[in-house]
Chain A
Amino acid sequence: MDWLEEELKQALARKEPRDGFDARVRARLQHRPPRWLAVAAAIVVTIGAGEAWQQYRGRQAKEQVMTAMRITASQLTRVQVHLKEIEQ
């Protein structure tokens, strides 16, 4: 190992973090939400997403029915007009 490598070893020697590092890590550990809370949150989100999807599907089905009824009504009106024309 030459002089530069020796200097690099000294320059890059391990340094300790500021005092109280482990206390700061432990403090962050205590502020973490408990695992059951994360699981509960995931369940709520899943149920909520499921309900939202059902509502979306319901709205789409209703819109399709309404469109079909509008088309049918329009066709019936045209048939009625045509029948009246024939009667006259």
Chain B
Amino acid sequence: MELTAVRQALDFGELMREHQAMVFSVLWHFLHDRDLAEELAQDVFLSLHKNLAAIETPAHAGFWLRKVAVQRAIDAARKRSRRPQVSLEEVAEPSVRPMAGDPMLGGMLRRLIATLPEGPRMAMVLRYQEDMDPADIAETMGIPLGTVKSHIQRSLGLLREKLERRGVGER
């Protein structure tokens, strides 16, 4: 199929329906602020609408949206000019110890991830939300592959340590 034909086939509404959960979730998991995530997700799609002529294929649109969402999330975090709203030590101790598979553990993990510094936090979001491999994460974030691997390993180690300290472990 010729490039122009592919371009004509790109439908903004369809792209929005297909990718809105990805864009919104990257922003929400990274910023831990639902309203801000929604506003920035809208900005990302307005930007896509403006640049639709430069998008070549649906796959290109997905790649482009993810990259712009990552950049907007990092910019917004820098604008807030403070570290995540909760520090690692402030994450509430659950009254009942959650075990693997417990929905309460999911909330606790999201709060713990929100306390990580920018780089490791985004690497973790892309690794476990988007199921991306480290090489793709490095390309999306524009950082070396070694840095991505180190971010993921150190973050996993840190989370494991914090969870163990809270008595959370495998069932």
Contacts and interface: CB of A to CB of B under 8 A. Distances in A.
Q: Do A and B bind each other?
A: yes
Interface of A: 3-18, 21-22, 24-25, 28-29, 32
A88 to B, nearest CB: 79
A24 B24 CA distance: 14
B30 to A, nearest CB: 10
A18 B38 contact: yes
Task: Determine the main DSSP class of B at the interface with A.
Answer: helix
Nearest to B129: A12
Contacts of B25: 12-15
B16 A3 contact: no
7 contacts: A4-B156, A7-B100, A8-B159, A10-B106, A12-B109, A22-B13, A25-B45
A6 B124 CA distance: 13
A14 B22 contact: yes
Contact of A14 (B21, B105, B170): B21
B67 interface: no
Q: Which 8 A-B pairs have the closest CB atoms?
A: A11-B106, A12-B129, A8-B128, A11-B109, A17-B24, A14-B21, A14-B25, A12-B128
Interface in B101-135: 101, 105-107, 109-110, 113, 124-125, 128-129, 131
Contact of A3 (B21, B128, B129, B170): B170
Contact of B42 (A8, A13, A16, A25): A25
A21 B24 contact: yes
B80 interface: no
Nearest to B159: A4
Contacts of B41: 17, 21
Nearest to B28: A15
Q: Which of A9, A12, A16, A21 counts the most B-chain CB atoms under 10 A from its CB?
A: A12
A8 B124 contact: yes
| Most-contacted residue by chain A among B41, B42, B46 (CB, 10 A) | B42
A25 B13 CA distance: 10
B160 interface: yes
B131 A9 contact: yes
B20 A21 contact: yes
